[in-house]
Structure 1
Amino acid sequence: MTQGDRFRDEFSRLVAASGRWRDTGPEALLGRWSTFVDQCEQGYRGDAEDYFNDLTSRNSLERALAAEELQKYPQLGHLRAEVEALDERFRALLLPDVFPRIPEETWWARGVVRAGRKRLVDDLRREYGVEVAEVG
């Protein structure tokens, strides 16, 4: 078994143990975060429940990036760099501090996208009293 295989296995075990039942591998989880960021850049089409559910991929990535048992793997540094590049794109889309009771360390959940499609806009207004712009 290669070091890359050990990293993937350990990463998947850690993420699965946190309750995530799919996308437990580093590539799959990174892909989910990337897809979510892409969707938000285009105007997220789902409702608020979908949005917050999709956002959990970033929570899982953070757990893995901070896990002591994964720090020994050089693959974690590569993953961190890719996550940071996606984070930079996502931060540019956010209204920060919309949910101030959420810890600052989880900035991705503390804010919400500035704009989205009608379903998200309507849900955020109705469920949370948050106004965001509607796009196409």
Structure 2
Amino acid sequence: MLGFVEAWQTLVDEVEAGYGGDLYEYEAELLVREDLERAMVSSELASVDGWASIGAQILVADSQFRELLGPVVREGSPWWKARVPARAGAEFAADVQRIYGVTIEASDE
């Protein structure tokens, strides 16, 4: 499970730096958060030693990620998929504009 938490934190860090991949890569990387959500609501994992600490790490990364998000592009989706980063690389920003008709800040990679 720690590998999933590390993957999530890595994505959060990449978004904070101005995500350099395209929209499709980003959406594939978001799948780790779906796995973490299933784990977080699992009654079986709630009783595992150290799970509270892992859950706390996920919540810290979640909080950091929420601050980096911009406009809603997918109503009704989980919070991590409903919005896109407010700032990203030029390719990502172009994908968001083309697919969703939304303008986000393009970073200077």
Q: TM-score range by the shorter chain?
A: over 0.9
Aligned partner (choices 42, 53, 60) of residue 28 of structure 2: 53
Unaligned runs of 5+ in 2: none
Which residue number in structure 1 is paired with residue 83 of structure 2?
A: 111
Larger RCO (alpha carbons 8 Å, 6+ apart): 2
Q: Cα offset for 1:96?
A: 4.8
Aligned partner (choices 66, 73, 94) of residue 41 of structure 2: 66
Which residue number in structure 2 is paired with residue 125 of structure 1?
A: 97
Higher strand share: 2
Over alpha carbons, which structure has the higher Rg? 1
**4+ residue stretches of structure 1 with deviation over 4 A?**
none
Q: Cα offset for 1:76?
A: 1.6
Using structure 1 for the length normalisation, give the TM-score: 0.75
Which residue number in structure 2 is paired with residue 78 of structure 1?
A: 53
Aligned partner (choices 25, 43, 65) of residue 90 of structure 1: 65
Which residue number in structure 1 is paired with residue 15 of structure 2?
A: 40
Unaligned runs of 5+ in 1: 1-25
RMSD, aligned CA: 1.1
2:81 partner SS: helix
Q: % of aligned pairs identical?
A: 31
Aligned residue pairs: how many?
A: 108
Using structure 2 for the length normalisation, give the TM-score: 0.93
Q: In structure 1, what is the Cα distance between the partners aligned to 2:71 and 2:98?
A: 19
